[in-house]
Structure 1
Amino acid sequence: MSDDDAALRRRVPGTGAVRDEDAFDVEAVAAWLRSVTPDDPDVLAGVDLGDDDEPVLPEVRQYTGGASNLTYLLRYPGADLVLRRPPAGTKARGAHDMRREYRVQSALRPVYPLVTRMVGFCDDHSVIGSDFYVMERMAGTILRKNLPRDLRLDRVTTRRLSESAVDALADLHSVDVAAAGLDDLDRGEGYVRRQVEGWSARYRRARTPDVPDFAPVMKWLHANQPEDVGHCLVHNDFRFDNLVLDPDDVTRVIGVLDWEMATVGDPLMDLGGALAYWVQDDDGPLFKAFRRQPTNAPGMLTRRQVVERYARRAGLDITDEQWRFYEVFGLFRLAVIAQQINHRYYHGQTTNPAFRAFRPGVAFLEQRCLRLIRTGDGRLSPTRIFPKDVIGELLGVPRVALPLLAGGVHDARGKVAGVLGGLPVVGGLARGAGGER
Structure 2
Amino acid sequence: MSATDQTTSVRQGEELDVQAVDQYLKQHIEELEGTPQVRQFQGGASNLTYLLSYPGKDLVLRRPPFGKKAKSAHDMGREFRILNQLNAGFPYCPKAYVHCTDESVTGCEFYVMEKVEGTILRADIPTELGLDESKTRELCKSFIDKLVELHNVDYVACGLGDLGKPEGYVKRQVEGWIDRYQKAATPDAPGWEPVIAWLREHMPADHPKPGIVHNDYRLDNVILDPNDPMRIIGVLDWELTTLGDPLMELGNTLAYWIEANDPADHQATRLQPSNAPGMLTRQEFADYYAERAGIQIDNLDYYYVFGMFRLAGITQQIYYRYYHGQTSNPRFAGFIVMNKQLEQRSLAVIQQSAL
CA drift at 1:363: 1.1
Matched to 2:105, the amino acid is V
Aligned to 1:16: 8
- Percent of aligned positions that are identical: 52
* Counterpart AA for 1:49: L
Q: Which amino acid aligns with 1:280?
A: E
Query: Gapped runs of 5+ residues in structure 2?
Result: none
Structure 2 match to 1:3: none
1:135 and 2:113 are equivalent in the alignment: yes
- The alignment of Structure 1 onto Structure 2 pairs a total of residues equal to 353
Within a 5 Å distance, the mapping from 1:30-179 to structure 2 comes to: 30-36=22-28, 48-50=31-33, 56-179=34-157
Structure 1: distance between partners of 2:325 and 2:140: 39
Largest Rg, 1 or 2: 1
1:328 paired residue number:
305
- Deviation of 1:11 (Å): 7.8
Residues 328-347 of structure 1 mapped to structure 2, 5 A cutoff: 328-347=305-324
- 1:10-409 → structure 2 map (5 Å cutoff): 12-36=4-28, 48-50=31-33, 56-229=34-207, 230-319=209-298, 322-376=299-353
CA distance in 1 between counterparts of 2:320 and 2:200 reads 24
> TM-score when scaled to structure 2?
0.97
Query: What is the alpha-carbon distance in structure 2 between the residues aligned to residue 11 and residue 274 of structure 1?
Result: 22
Q: Which segment drifts farther, 236-245 or 356-365? A: 356-365
Aligned residue identity for 1:113: P
Deviations 1:201-226 (A, max 9, x none): 01110111101111111110011010
1:47-81 deviation line (CA, Å, top 9, x unaligned): x513xxxxx11000001111100000001111211
Letter in 2 for 1:351: S
Q: 2-side partners of 1:62 and 1:157: how far apart?
A: 31
| Moved beyond 3 Å, runs of 4+ | none
Q: Deviations over 1:378-418 (max 9, x none)?
A: xxxxxxxxxxxxxxxxxxxxxxxxxxxxxxxxxxxxxxxxx
C-alpha distance in structure 1 between counterparts of 2:110 and 2:38, whole Å: 15
1:82-114 deviation per Cα after TM superposition (whole angstroms, max 9, x unaligned):
000011111011111101110111110111100
Q: CA RMSD in A?
A: 1.4
Distance in 1 (CA, whole Å) between partners of 2:163 and 2:53 is 34
Q: Residues of 2 paired with 1:376 and 1:116: CA distance?
A: 40
Deviation of residue 200 (structure 1)? 0.4
- Partners in 1 of 2:130 and 2:106 — Cα distance? 43
Q: Is the 8 A contact 2:2 2:119 kept in 1?
A: no
For residues 346-385 of structure 1, give each alpha carbon's deviation from its aligned partner in whole angstroms, at most 9, with x where no partner exists: 11111112211011211111111111100149xxxxxxxx
Using the alignment, how far apart are the partners of 2:290 and 2:134 within structure 1? 21
Query: How far apart are 1:162 and its partner, in Å?
Result: 0.2
Distance in structure 1 (CA, Å) of the matches to 2:91 and 2:246: 19
Q: 1:6: which partner in 2?
A: none
1:188 and 1:339 map into 2 onto residues whose CA distance is 26
TM-superposed CA distance for 1:14, in Å, is 1.3
Q: Supply the AA of the counterpart residue of 2:216.
A: D
Distance of 2:123 and 2:164 partners within structure 1 = 34
**Cα distance, 1:152 vs. partner?**
2.2
| SS of equivalent residue, structure 2 residue 124 | coil
Per-residue CA deviation, residues 245-287 of structure 1 (Å, 9 max, x unaligned), is 1111111111000000000000000111011111110111111
How far 1:20 sits from its partner (Å)? 2.4
Between structures 1 and 2, the one with greater helix share:
1
Q: Greater CA deviation, 235-244 or 145-154?
A: 145-154
SS of residue matched to 2:77: helix
SS of equivalent to 2:61 = strand
Write the distance in 2 (CA, Å) between the matches of 1:11 and 1:276: 24
